[in-house]
Chain A
Amino acid sequence: MRTPIAYFLVVSAALFAIGTVGVLVRRNALVIFMSIELQLNAVNLTLVAFSRMNGDLIGQVLTFFSMVVAAAEVVVGLAIIVNVNRRRRTANVDDLNLLKW
């Protein structure tokens, strides 16, 4: 018996919500980054679930693309965070507020 699509979507929505809250409330850049990954994976889960429901592979292929892009993004993001940390001895995003009015 197939698992109903709603189960996947509920898990996915829960993951996405946790990620969103993480992005909004945490101050450590690394944790925010991890939360973003959580959001991305929530979306990936949705894609795979719909792909399974529709019975084709488009959603799964798209997920691979998404993961590749996420990996690249993580590389760039982590490099920035490491560099900021070396210069400013901090990973707190609230301290990085030079670019403003």
Chain B
Amino acid sequence: MLKSIWLVPALPLAGFAVNLFVGRKLGRWAGILASLLMVASFAVALGVLNDLLELPAENRLFLRHLYDWIGVGRFHVAADLRVDPLSMTMVMIVTGVGSLIHIYSIGYMHGDPRYGRFFAYLNLFCFFMLTLVLAQNFLFLYLGWEGVGLCSYLLIGFWHDRPSAANAAKKAFIVTRIGDTFMLIGVVLIFLRLHSLDFQQVLFPHCGPGMHCPPVAFHTQPSGVYTIIALLLFAGAIGKSAQVPLHVWLPDAMEGPTPVSALIHAATMVTAGVYLVARTHVFFEISGVALVVVLVVGLVTALYAATAAVGQDDIKRVLAYSTISQLGFMFFALGLKAYAAAIFLLVTHAFYKALMFLSAGSVMHGLQGETDLKKMGALARAMPVTTAMFAIGALAVSGVPPFAGFFSKDQILAAANQTGHEIVWLVALVAAFFSALYIARLIFLVFFGDDRTELHAHESPPVMTIPLGFLAVGAAVGGLLGLSAVTGKLQTFLAPVLGEIPEPSAGLSEAMLTAISVVVALAGILVGWFVYGSGKIDWMALRVRLSSVQRFLAGGWYVDDVYAATIVAPGKAGSAFLAYVVDEGVVDGIVNAVGIFVQWLARVTRRVQTGFVRTYALAFLLGAVALLVYVGFRL
């Protein structure tokens, strides 16, 4: 079964090809075909996972050589697939959550004129994402990395007749490209300094090819080289995973259809950065400095996005900022060397954030596309199933036991506490508090309180609610995968790749930490309920009174405005200068001057053509005489 791993990315690729060319003729079968192929891909992945689990823990590595991709001189890149616990964890999320979102999309995109094309893009995305996580070298990974960026662009701008969607797509593509460019430089640097792009040779030079290795940091170059490589790779991760300062594209990316937000901008693509850092964590460990950078960026992002989420009025933008914040927590965990905890949060987050996005999509479906929180409220009566699903996701995000988010976040907070730097732990706690607050605000404004809707809401069809059910199960009991930071199932499964987790040595006791994080989560929910759900406070009046704070948070701390003023405006001015002064003035001027000169020359010299035959005859004669004289003098 291990050998058929190539089927996992190949099946969505086949779906893409079919839907691209004959999607329109297939009609509603396009969605069913795409979903079936994803489910088949998931089934194959399950088989592969099963085979992998049957191997002894230290032998869980399988490389599938597909073909030699590039061979020029000393530069050899093969299209190889790597099956190990980390890549299989990602594959299970992409195919599993991906299948559910495909099925949901059958209902959500029903009636769209470009229904087949949507599924073609969705399948193509899954293919590239699977390439990314299964790649065995940096260039193959980069292929997937750019491919998912392309699909993200296509799907954010899927309704490209809306200018906001087209602009959001461009913004997402350009902003992530900044990070991608750094990452490509990093990949080139890896080849120049480490003479290979193969994960095995680059990351574990002390091991033979194809052998499983303990993930121990081992360096053949000065550590400064690794610092630069790690920071360049991390810049790619910052762009793709929407971390400060390149996070600005993700809230705007919500212009895409909601299943896209759930699949690409919550569960899979944005976690590619986390995967990349986890995969190359030995670089970061050798460097040390890079690890601190990851930690700081993650922590700042987690806190920043959690506060910004409190001020958003668009249901999907709240979730977008929530995703940024959760990704920040993942990077924070990576920076703490709690790699398994980061991947654990990645897994649980994929469940509960996909669940919340799809529930939000169900709400929008019921309200004819309305996304403004101020125009919702009291939807619990009209949409009981969606409400229940959303609530499960919300409890998971805020970290209330026994839901999945609790275990993963708790382990990260515990790891933060063990660093001995109280301030890091406290900031993370504040971010966790805000996480609970924004999610409580969201749920009380949408599903409870006064009915502010102008429409008659209705529950979504089963094709949409059943995938929600599956995801809700994941969000509710996903924590079972990793109950303990040291002995959890997922953590021990990942240990051969990410390293053994040390027993907690410093800091507060585990029970104490758990109690504190539960209290923080409950406090956040309580504050949210008191302001938005209890009816004791007129939150609309509060908005007006604190309108400057509200605007500050809604604008995401005005980061977009700062970029507009410092980068976009000078960029536009520079482009205008180049276009209207340099191009129109200098470049066009030179071209026009040449033309004008030739015209002038022609106007003057064409007088020679008088039309009088005898003038020409005289010119002949003079010319002939001149030639004769010349020849005569030469002789």
Please choose the segment from A50-58, A71-79, A91-99 that sits at the chain B interface, where 4 or more of its residues have CB less than 8 A away: A91-99
Within 8 Å by CB of B617, from A23, A100, A101, lies A23
Within 8 Å by CB of A100, from B611, B614, B618, B621, lies B611
Within 8 Å by CB of A24, from B609, B610, B611, B618, lies B618
Within 8 Å by CB of A93, from B609, B610, B613, lies B613
Instruction: Please judge, given known A-B contacts A20-B621, A24-B621, whether A94 and B614 are in contact too, CB under 8 Å.
Output: yes
Residues of B within 8 Å of A27, CB to CB, are: 614
Please determine whether B614 and A101 come into contact, CB atoms closer than 8 angstroms. no
Please determine whether B614 and A97 come into contact, CB atoms closer than 8 angstroms. no
- Of all chain B residues, the one with the shortest Cβ separation from A97 is B611
Please determine whether A24 and B606 come into contact, CB atoms closer than 8 angstroms. no
Please determine whether A96 and B609 come into contact, CB atoms closer than 8 angstroms. no
Please determine whether B612 and A24 come into contact, CB atoms closer than 8 angstroms. no
Residues of B within 8 Å of A23, CB to CB, are: 614, 617
Within 8 Å by CB of A97, from B606, B607, B612, B617, lies B612
Interface 1/0 per residue, A27-61 and B, CB below 8 Å: 10000100000000000000000000000000000
Residues of A within 8 Å of B606, CB to CB, are: 101
Give the distance in Å from the alpha carbon of A25 to the alpha carbon of B607 in the complex: 22
Please determine whether B607 and A94 come into contact, CB atoms closer than 8 angstroms. no
Instruction: Please judge, given known A-B contacts A101-B606, A101-B607, whether A24 and B617 are in contact too, CB under 8 Å.
Output: yes
Residues of B within 8 Å of A97, CB to CB, are: 610-612
Please determine whether A100 and B613 come into contact, CB atoms closer than 8 angstroms. no
Interface 1/0 per residue, A1-42 and B, CB below 8 Å: 000000000000000000010011101000010000000000
Give the distance in Å from the alpha carbon of A82 to the alpha carbon of B97 in the complex: 94
- Of all chain B residues, the one with the shortest Cβ separation from A35 is B617
Return B607 CB to nearest CB of chain A, in Å.
Answer: 6
Return A97 CB to nearest CB of chain B, in Å.
Answer: 3
Residues of A within 8 Å of B608, CB to CB, are: 101
Please determine whether B613 and A96 come into contact, CB atoms closer than 8 angstroms. yes
Residues of A within 8 Å of B607, CB to CB, are: 101
Residues of B within 8 Å of A24, CB to CB, are: 614, 617-618, 621
Return A13 CB to nearest CB of chain B, in Å.
Answer: 13
- Of all chain A residues, the one with the shortest Cβ separation from B614 is A24
Interface centre among B609, B617, B621 (most CB of A within 10 A): B617
Within 8 Å by CB of B611, from A20, A25, A32, A98, lies A98
Interface 1/0 per residue, B611-626 and A, CB below 8 Å: 1111001100100000
- Of all chain B residues, the one with the shortest Cβ separation from A36 is B617
Return B601 CB to nearest CB of chain A, in Å.
Answer: 13
Return B76 CB to nearest CB of chain A, in Å.
Answer: 67
- Of all chain A residues, the one with the shortest Cβ separation from B607 is A101
Return B615 CB to nearest CB of chain A, in Å.
Answer: 10
Residues of B within 8 Å of A32, CB to CB, are: 613
Residues of B within 8 Å of A101, CB to CB, are: 606-611
Return B97 CB to nearest CB of chain A, in Å.
Answer: 78
Return A88 CB to nearest CB of chain B, in Å.
Answer: 14
Return A31 CB to nearest CB of chain B, in Å.
Answer: 12
Return B599 CB to nearest CB of chain A, in Å.
Answer: 13
Residues of B within 8 Å of A100, CB to CB, are: 609-611
In chain B, residues 451-471, which have Cβ atoms closer than 8 Å to a Cβ of chain A?
A: none
Give the distance in Å from the alpha carbon of A99 to the alpha carbon of B621 in the complex: 21
Return A91 CB to nearest CB of chain B, in Å.
Answer: 12
Please determine whether B611 and A93 come into contact, CB atoms closer than 8 angstroms. no
- Of all chain B residues, the one with the shortest Cβ separation from A94 is B612
Residues of B within 8 Å of A96, CB to CB, are: 613
Return A73 CB to nearest CB of chain B, in Å.
Answer: 16
Give the distance in Å from the alpha carbon of A94 to the alpha carbon of B618 in the complex: 14
Residues of B within 8 Å of A98, CB to CB, are: 611
Give the distance in Å from the alpha carbon of A23 to the alpha carbon of B611 in the complex: 16
Residues of A within 8 Å of B621, CB to CB, are: 20, 24
- Of all chain A residues, the one with the shortest Cβ separation from B613 is A93
- Of all chain B residues, the one with the shortest Cβ separation from A20 is B621
Give the distance in Å from the alpha carbon of A20 to the alpha carbon of B621 in the complex: 8
Q: List 14 A-B contacts (CB under 8 A).
A: A20-B621, A23-B614, A24-B618, A93-B613, A93-B614, A96-B613, A97-B610, A97-B611, A98-B611, A99-B609, A99-B611, A100-B609, A101-B609, A101-B610
By Cβ-Cβ distance, the 9 closest A-B pairs, closest first, are A100-B611, A97-B611, A101-B606, A93-B613, A101-B609, A100-B609, A23-B617, A100-B610, A97-B612
| Chain B residues within CB distance 8 Å of chain A | 606-614, 617-618, 621
Q: Knowing that A20-B621, A97-B611, A101-B607 touch, tell me 4 more A-B residue pairs with CB under 8 angstroms.
A: A24-B617, A27-B614, A101-B608, A101-B611
